[in-house]
Amino acid sequence: MSKVLIIGNSAATLASARAYHRAGCELFIQGEALNPGFASIATAYNLGGLADFESLKTFTQKIKPDLVFVGPPDPLAAGVVDFFEEQFGIPSVGPKKASTILEASKAFTRDLVEKYKIPGQIRFKTFSSEAGIREFADELGGDFVVKADGLKSGMGVKVSGDHFTTTEEGIDFARECLAESGRVVLEEKLLGEEFSLMSLCDGEHALDLPAVQDFKRALNDDQGPNTGGMGSYIDRGASLPFLKPEDLALASEITQQVLKAMKLETGLPFKGFLFGGFMLTAKGLRLLEYNVRTGDPETITVLSVLKSNFFDLSMALVEGRLNEMKLELEDKAAVAKYIVPKGYPEIRHGGAILQLPTLPPEVEAFPAWVEQVPEGLKMIQGGSVGHRALALLGKGATLTEAEAAVEAVAQKIQGPFTHRSDIATPATIAKKLAHMEALRKRA
């Protein structure tokens, strides 16, 4: 039995752990908090920092894993993949520290796409001082996006009309970003439908997982503050209702070109997940950003339909053999909805108790920032912002079937919690289809 060390304790990391468990692996977890979702599938759970190299060293010497899987971005940026290779010669599913710049620096990504003439680029400028920011904001007609250049806790992106109403407010946020990291990126604001494409990458080849759409805003109808993600969905056929085959093909081609450009630019083969954010606009497909790890909540839905052996795919990734692999998927739709404390993300609810009803066979729970107590699942207090409690996943022959299964359970949750009831409903899907049809007519 192959041993896999998993770093992380989020619901998305749990989804990856369950995929390894289905592949017959023995699991060992390094987590910041004790997530009860790992209890039935992990041999050992080590409480410790995700980038605490001393703790990881002691744990690794004890368990002697064959493979390491890294969930969150922070340990990747700290060089945990380099650490395991240099200290133990153990391969990891995740990029080396130098390659994490693709997520850590929005400016790097934009410059890379421009330098290598990769499709999907948008108008942007990077600033290391306030000089020129107002002029470029005016050039964009006051409709612009401000992005912190770095791994920023909380909301590192603000969009005009959504998060600020005047140019001055946008410039104020740009000043905050400059003070924090020394650089800030301004981009044109895009109108369209967003989606994500996660791809396993072995340095030369990319193997795409199903396209997925998530919901960032806290409240129904895309209202309220941005969050870590309130839910996501995938449709049968590894696509989304509003996507055409050529849309998905272009997103895949952009990822392939970014993979090649990363090797040319950094001198390192990128091995891990490339998690691309894209938007379909009236002018075609545009690239929003790349992350260098699995997404949350996207991973919960995407891996739920994976029939391929996840350990075999991971070994092909680290050994550069992904071109030999074929992705096998269940022909099902999947919907995930996060249960969050009322007032999330601004309000913290450490100690609040969530009571989960009995789950039907088609619904699965993914605990996040909670611990098991006799009364139910208790929110763990931590950090300066609120946390998500638990994700519910439903699968079905159709999106309508999967969504209905999840919503029926979500409505029975007891405690001071809420969720977005509109994720992947027939009305929401119809609205997105109409929106995309209108944009295509304007093209």
Quick: pLDDT tens for 321-375. 999 999 999 999 999 999 999 999 887 777 899 999 999 999 999 999 999 999 9
CATH of residue 38: 3.40.50.20
Q: How wide is the angle at C-alpha 294 spanned by C-alphas 372 and 290, nearest 5°?
A: 140
Residue 74 has pLDDT above 50, yes or no: yes
Task: Please check whether residue 65 lies inside any domain of the structure.
Answer: yes
Residues 112-130 have a mean pLDDT of 96
Task: Please check whether residue 439 lies inside any domain of the structure.
Answer: no
Q: Give the number of residues written for the chain.
A: 443
Co-location of 176 and 148 in the same domain: yes
Instruction: Check whether the bond before 119 is cis (ω within 30° of 0).
Output: no
Co-location of 75 and 199 in the same domain: no
Quick: pLDDT tens for 202-220. 999 999 999 999 999 999 9
Q: How wide is the angle at C-alpha 258 spanned by C-alphas 256 and 260, nearest 5°?
A: 70
Task: Please check whether residue 226 lies inside any domain of the structure.
Answer: yes
CATH of residue 134: 3.30.1490.20
> How many domains does one find in the chain?
3
Co-location of 84 and 136 in the same domain: no
Co-location of 184 and 308 in the same domain: no
Co-location of 242 and 388 in the same domain: yes
Co-location of 419 and 353 in the same domain: yes
Query: pLDDT averaged over the chain?
Result: 94
Confidence of residue 151 (pLDDT cuts 50, 70, 90): low
Co-location of 166 and 306 in the same domain: no
Co-location of 358 and 421 in the same domain: yes
Task: Please check whether residue 437 lies inside any domain of the structure.
Answer: no
Residues 257-278 have a mean pLDDT of 97
Task: Please check whether residue 327 lies inside any domain of the structure.
Answer: yes
- How far is Cα 407 from Cα 421, in angstroms, rounded to an integer? 7
Residue environment code for 211-220, b if the CB has 16+ CB neighbours within 10 A, otherwise e: bbbbbbbbeb
Co-location of 149 and 200 in the same domain: no
Query: Residue 135 belongs to what domain range?
Result: 123-188
Task: Please check whether residue 309 lies inside any domain of the structure.
Answer: yes
Q: Where are the beta strands (DSSP E) in 23-180?
A: 26-31, 42-47, 67-70, 92-93, 124-127, 144-148, 157-159
Decide: 151 and 214 in contact? Cβ < 8 Å.
Answer: no
Quick: pLDDT tens for 380-429. 976 555 789 999 999 999 999 999 999 999 999 988 999 999 999 999 99
- How far is Cα 375 from Cα 181, in angstroms, rounded to an integer? 44
If we measure between CA atoms, which residue out of 150, 277, 252, 238 comes closest to residue 201?
A: 252
Co-location of 35 and 157 in the same domain: no
What confidence score (pLDDT) does residue 153 get? 40
Start-to-end CA distance of the chain, whole Å, equals: 54
Task: Please check whether residue 441 lies inside any domain of the structure.
Answer: no
